[in-house]
Structure 1
Amino acid sequence: MTARAASAELSSPARSFALPAANSAAWPLAALGLLLAMQLSMVFTRAVNWDEFWFYYHVADFARGTLAQPLQSLHVRLFAWLPALPGSGVDKILTARLVMLACEAVTLAAIYALSRRFVERPVAVLAALLYLSAGFVLQHGFSFRTDPMATAALMSALVILGRCRLGLWPLAAFAALVAIAGMITIKTVLYAPAFIGLAWMRWSADGFSPATALRMAAAGLGAGVVFALLYAWHAASLTTATEGTAMAASASRWMFFLGVPPYWQMGVKAALTAPVLFLLALAAPFAIWRSALPNSAKWGLSGLWLPLTLPLFYTNTAAYFYVFMLAPVAVSVTVAAHSLVSRYPLALVTGVLALLATGAFAMEDRDTIHRQRALVETAETLLPQGIAYFDHNGMLPSLVKANYLMTPSAMFSYRQNGVASFRKAMEARPIPMLLVNDEIIASSLTGGSDILVPEDASALRDSYVPFWGPIMLAGADIASGKVRTSEWLVPGQYTVLGGSAVIDGQFHQQGSVMHMSRGSHTVEAVDGSVRLQWGDNLSQPTRIWEEGPLYVGF
């Protein structure tokens, strides 16, 4: 063997491990894999957000046969298997997050596929990475909410509109995807500019063919028909279904605004945690219209860019909304991204994005979820399934939430109506538990909030006493030697704790259990302070409640 041959043989292993070229798609692909692995760990360690509990509560409500909301609740059928799984409500939500992670993967594939209509492969992969590395997407892209599912469906529909042959089956799939997204969330309408832009692009590219216009019109009409059929089918099986149009009308009154964005701080944070994407988005309109692309493609990209303006007039743009909003925007920045990687190596751009995302991942709160699990497990063990309770967001899916979700929009409607709905609920059925998992409830109990109408605030203050952590049970505390005459709104079995008491003229020793009917009762503490606590000698949990937040801020 010659010296040159021996040298080539020795150097061949080194060549086989050579790094990809600086502008190879392998760099953003590897970063996508890394970030998805980070998210997979966050599925099990990131605190459950309050609306994830509410999202799952609808699933549990459907399993009980008491779901009354046909609009924005199609997911209850997709996740009907969840309540039968072992574990607490928190564990079931974490399982459902795996499905949402799969939906996010579909969205990433759709971003890549649609981007390939405008740019080459490496930049198309970079578009998917720009989306995933955005701070709010990294944190909420797998959350158990409407956003990951609706985004996957709508982005897949946009791929069909933008890239597929407009034949019968692709258009039927388009109609089904849009209709399903609409049944999942009415936010689907906010993608209208993206669909209009791509529709114009296809029609223009086909020489404004009447046949193309008819096919796209038929697809839009088909989406409406499928939506109506899905709604009718879904609502028909809900024995107490409410009118969906009333809900949509109520939401529309709160949905848009003029003036300063109510969530402007989150918009600033979104930009700061995804600076490359937002800088490219600011440059995108100029890059698009200065490019050599056909005018039809420029209109298509402009339509995909327009959702970026939603925080300027759409109200509910909290952190998780960016999962929904940024998917089409990530496609719209591809022309600007192409200019970026023509100046700087794709490997360098990828490294910056991966570093920013890793920083956000490293700062994750991994303690709050343990408090959430402890609270849910304790409460679900304490009370039998089906018992009614009050809370902010349906945190206890095995129990029945007796009040509506306490969001800003819902509380605005509540104040506008001026009806003491908490008290009305207490007059209709026994509600032995109050879960203090929101500042509105906590402040109302101390008299520091006027959000609840006075009758509701006093009903809560006079009817519940602390039990464990945020859990309060129906009852009353009477100081030694004092007499209390008050209205009892929670009938049921009560235990006399701390000392003896005379109740309505009858002596009851410490530890005795007696029935309190709804109505006025007089209680006198005769030998020490006395607590009347709902239930038959319910024992305090052995687990120690660790003080701390129940939810992670955005």
Structure 2
Amino acid sequence: MSQIRHILSHTPTGLGQIPKPLMLLERGVKAIIVAMIVLGLHRVFIANINWDEFYFLSLVHLYQNGDLTAPLQTIHVHLFGWLPLVSDNEIHQIFAARVFMWCLSLGSCWMIYDISRKFCSREAALFPVLFYLGFSYVADHVLSFRADPLCAFLFLASLHLLLGKDRSRIHMVISAIFMSAAIMVSIKSIFYLATIGPVLLTLSLMEPVKRGAELRGFVFIIAGVLASFVLFQWHSSTLTNATATEAGAAMMSAGSKTLLSGPFFPQAYFIVRALAENGIIWLFIFSGLWKAGHDAWRGDNRHRSLILLSFALPLLSLVIYRNAFPYFFVFLMPAVVILGGISADLLITRLRQSASRIPAAIFGGTLMLISASLVTSHFKKLPDQTIAQREVVAAIHGMYGEPVPYLDRNSMMSSFPKAGFYMSGWGMENYRARKSAIMEDLMRREQPRFLIANSCALNISMASNTSDATCQHRLLDRDFHILRANFVHHWGPIYVIGKTFDIGVPGVPQSFQIFVSGIYTLEAAAPVSIDGVVYQPGDRVRLDQAPHNIAATGGPTRAELRLGDRLYKPNTPPTAEPLYYRF
């Protein structure tokens, strides 16, 4: 054990009085990190809420309503069960969840720093934290309410215990539990095993007493398997009709779709952007990676170098992982950036030992570039990007006092029961592959009251399903026309169940079909006859799921039936801002 502590402890060379440039450097890095943390807290309340944040929240409400059946990647519902107590408004609930993620990010940053301290000096260990928070994709998504920040925290907690001074069996057990919890939060956490496995193996090889090392490794593996089993069984027992068979099938399907369904580097565009936007950070990381590889090849403190090399292995997931979108880098980078600290440590050592201005110039340029990127990005995204989302959520809560079924892409009204499937890119691909229209049956069965056009596929204001050439995932033509014929525009992107009629010859009825039963409000310029009964404009009409007919009582007129008893509609027009912003 003492040998491991020696290998994983870093003693900077040239100790003594700290040079003034080094003191200024340390203060500058700390100041930028603090600024990033403070600005991040501000971004919690103005950054556009991505569609999968609403979906992540909807799982919490599904669980609390007793409707959650999927045990995989839903264990977070227990951690966030308090969110509905914060507010009835989904926007406020997500803000509260983001503040929680902000607190987690503080813990993640501390663990990145403390792990880095095992490999480099105090000053250099600040740089991995700077690089993590300063990485463009991480800065944008580290506080998002999704699995990635939570998985990153759990992975770092597991790694931190593995590399700790006291590697007792109880620490191995706790580390394994953290890793199992990360996998329960998201299956993609298996990518972390590319680091955890080699670290565990290398630490075992470093032990002078092989039997003790093997035993600790065995304890970690057994504890991890048992923790995964216990967490899965416990979580499943709290759900409705959850089965291991269905969970296994879902896991196989997810693995096939996300790992084996596309070419190498399926998200090459976002990878290239990550390289271009964070060039100086990658330069430090790859320099540290080269140093670790060089030391391992030469045999200089090989065990330490092998551990450092393992920190980069999760990067290989970019070769095959379909969902390597910008938010994935929050998950991907926590250990990778530690390699940047190795490069920083080499420059700091040179700065300590000589009067060379080159290291100072490199550090100065790095801090200026990261600071400029931070300021530019923050001011570029400074306007509140949640205005449209706030308006829509408030309008729907004003329309309906209690949750009612609805249609949308991603469960934006997370506390309401969503009808239909989760319309992600993956979901839409599966839907299109089946080539079977579903909307008429879905409307009859689930009785949705309104629709949010928060996807181009649901933009039923278009005359045709192919009007928007940029829409990558469209509904089948029959489904599009079913929705277009059975919803009327209400406000902004909100449509409600209804029918529109252009009635011609008086007394000649038009037949129509109602899929969703309820009280409808008549909107017309003149009285009309519905099923032989004359109704005045503004009257309420009870219509059941059946065929009906409507006719004019005077001259030609336009009439509209809208489901609801004089539904609330905001007095002001909606903002021109989009509901969702692109990555």
Q: TM-score, normalised by structure 1?
A: 0.92
Please list the CA deviations of residues 412-445 of structure 1 after superposition, one character each: whole Å capped at 9, or x if unmatched.
2222333434333212132110110111211696
In the other structure, the counterpart of 1:170 is: 171
CA 1:176–1:140: 2 relative to 1, 3 Å: same
Maintained 8 Å contact 1:256/1:314: yes
CA 1:423–1:297: 2 relative to 1, 3 Å: farther
- Tell me whether 1:497 sits opposite 2:523 in the alignment: yes
- Tell me whether 1:344 sits opposite 2:359 in the alignment: yes
Maintained 8 Å contact 2:465/2:480: no
Q: Give distance in 2, aligned partners of 1:464 and 1:415.
A: 22
1:255-404 matches, cutoff 5 A: 255-257=258-260, 258-259=262-263, 261-291=265-295, 293-341=300-348, 342=350, 343-345=358-360, 346=363, 348-364=365-381, 366-404=383-421
Give the stretch that moved more between structures: 378-387 or 163-172. 163-172
Residue type of the partner of 1:538? L
Maintained 8 Å contact 1:27/1:347: no
In the other structure, the counterpart of 1:470 is: 493
CA 1:392–1:293: 2 relative to 1, 3 Å: farther
* Secondary structure at 1:401 match in 2: coil
Q: Give distance in 2, aligned partners of 1:385 and 1:328.
A: 46
Q: Give distance in 2, aligned partners of 1:467 and 1:435.
A: 10
* Secondary structure at 1:25 match in 2: helix
Please list the CA deviations of residues 380-405 of structure 1 after superposition, one character each: whole Å capped at 9, or x if unmatched.
22123231000011111231111221
How much does 1:131 deviate? 0.7
How much does 1:347 deviate? 5.0
Maintained 8 Å contact 1:35/1:354: no
How much does 1:140 deviate? 0.7
- Tell me whether 1:548 sits opposite 2:577 in the alignment: yes
In the other structure, the counterpart of 1:95 is: 96
Q: Give distance in 2, aligned partners of 1:23 and 1:314.
A: 41
In the other structure, the counterpart of 2:536 is: 509
The partner residue of 2:511 within 469, 481, 485 is 485
How much does 1:293 deviate? 4.3
Q: Give distance in 1, aligned partners of 2:424 and 2:330.
A: 20
In the other structure, the counterpart of 2:13 is: none
Please list the CA deviations of residues 40-91 of structure 1 after superposition, one character each: whole Å capped at 9, or x if unmatched.
1101111111111111111122222222222111111111111122251101
In the other structure, the counterpart of 2:250 is: 247
How much does 1:379 deviate? 0.7
Please list the CA deviations of residues 99-149 of structure 1 after superposition, one character each: whole Å capped at 9, or x if unmatched.
101111111111112112211111111111111100111111111010111
- Tell me whether 1:35 sits opposite 2:64 in the alignment: no
How much does 1:23 deviate? 6.5
The partner residue of 1:418 within 420, 435, 439 is 435
Give the stretch that moved more between structures: 494-503 or 330-339. 330-339
Residue type of the partner of 2:28? W
How much does 1:501 deviate? 2.1
In the other structure, the counterpart of 1:152 is: 153
Please list the CA deviations of residues 144-195 of structure 1 after superposition, one character each: whole Å capped at 9, or x if unmatched.
0101111001011011112342213211211221121111111110112111
CA 1:525–1:132: 2 relative to 1, 3 Å: farther
Paired residues in the alignment total 537
RMSD: 2.2
* Secondary structure at 1:123 match in 2: helix
Q: TM-score, normalised by structure 2?
A: 0.87
* Secondary structure at 1:44 match in 2: coil
Q: Give distance in 2, aligned partners of 1:300 and 1:410.
A: 39
Q: Give distance in 2, aligned partners of 1:360 and 1:19.
A: 31
Maintained 8 Å contact 1:200/1:300: no
Q: Give distance in 2, aligned partners of 1:240 and 1:502.
A: 48
Q: Give distance in 2, aligned partners of 1:209 and 1:445.
A: 70
Please list the CA deviations of residues 227-250 of structure 1 after superposition, one character each: whole Å capped at 9, or x if unmatched.
211111111121243632222122
CA 1:165–1:107: 2 relative to 1, 3 Å: same
Residue type of the partner of 1:295? R
Maintained 8 Å contact 2:201/2:217: no
In the other structure, the counterpart of 2:459 is: 442
Maintained 8 Å contact 1:501/1:507: yes
Residue type of the partner of 1:28? V
Residue type of the partner of 2:80? F
* Secondary structure at 1:549 match in 2: coil
Maintained 8 Å contact 1:496/1:512: yes
Residue type of the partner of 2:527? S
* Secondary structure at 1:329 match in 2: coil
Q: Give distance in 1, aligned partners of 2:485 and 2:579.
A: 25
Q: Give distance in 2, aligned partners of 1:473 and 1:164.
A: 61
Q: Give distance in 2, aligned partners of 1:429 and 1:519.
A: 15
In the other structure, the counterpart of 2:201 is: 200
In structure 2, the gaps of 5 or more residues are 1-18, 351-357, 467-472
How much does 1:224 deviate? 1.8
Give the stretch that moved more between structures: 249-258 or 76-85. 249-258
How much does 1:34 deviate? 0.9
Please list the CA deviations of residues 475-533 of structure 1 after superposition, one character each: whole Å capped at 9, or x if unmatched.
01111427542322111111111232222333222111111111222223445210000
The partner residue of 2:422 within 380, 395, 405 is 405
* Secondary structure at 1:474 match in 2: strand
* Secondary structure at 2:334 match in 1: helix
Q: Give distance in 2, aligned partners of 1:455 and 1:374.
A: 31
Maintained 8 Å contact 1:115/1:124: yes
How much does 1:20 deviate? 6.6
Give the stretch that moved more between structures: 273-282 or 481-490. 481-490
